[in-house]
A = this chain, B = another copy of it.
Amino acid sequence: MEIGMPELDRVIHEPVRLRIMACLDTLEPKEQVDFVYLRDLLEVTDGNLGAHLQELEEAGYIGVKKRFVGRKPRTFISATTKGRAAFGEHVEALREIIEGGEAGKKG
């Protein structure tokens, strides 16, 4: 019944941030997503998404760039190398917890 104690990263674990990182992790290294795309995908408000992005940026997990497209300011988001590594470790920790349970059931 041992499930081990893998560390979960509380910055990433929060549901909206977990989804943000899962989404960004699918991108190619220099690819970015648009703020509006992410907001609509995650079905959150501008303010909510902005707050979560700020936490991820402060942790060094994402890069946020604003630039003008025509006359409109747009915000582009990408995962950093550090962010991808942290997300990968987080997924591993989650798997250990989840699969620890499943292994226990079989045993």
Chain B residues with CB below 8 A from A100, complex form: 22, 26
| Bound complex: CA A8 to CA B17 (Å) | 12
CB distance from A63 to the nearest CB of B (A): 18
Query: Once the chains bind, are B13 and A98 in contact (CB under 8 Å)?
Result: no
Query: Once the chains bind, are A98 and B104 in contact (CB under 8 Å)?
Result: no
Q: A3-B41, A41-B3 are in contact. Are A98 and B22 (CB under 8 A)?
A: yes
Interface residues of A in 1-56 (CB under 8 A from B): 1-3, 5, 8, 10, 13, 15, 18-19, 22-23, 25-27, 33, 41-43
Point out residues on A near B: beta carbons under 8 Å: 1-3, 5, 8, 10, 13, 15, 18-19, 22-23, 25-27, 33, 41-43, 91, 94-95, 97-98, 100-101, 104-105
